[in-house]
Amino acid sequence: MVWTWRFEKADGSAVPAPSGTEEFPTQGDAETWIGEIWKDLLADGVDQVVLLEDGQKIYGPMSLHPTEQ
């Protein structure tokens, strides 16, 4: 199984992966990676992400914008 992220604008339109497609062997690896790189993705124009397992949506869209408190 391969885990990947789909990158999107706030309206759900696809954004090309800024550094190419990353593939991960586990969901945990994919989630760890997004936790480390989300600020860079946001700076590159990605608003939200969707987690995919073998091309099937697992969850999302998940906003990369910090919540205001």
- Give the tens place of pLDDT for each residue, 39-60: 999 999 999 999 999 999 999 9
Measured CA to CA, the distance from residue 29 to residue 26 in angstroms comes to: 5
Q: What is the pLDDT of residue 69?
A: 58
Please return the burial class of 56, using the count of CB atoms within 10 Å of its CB with bins 0-12, 13-18 and 19+: exposed
- Give the tens place of pLDDT for each residue, 5-28: 999 999 999 998 877 778 999 999
- Give the tens place of pLDDT for each residue, 59-68: 999 999 988 7
pTM given for the model? 0.90
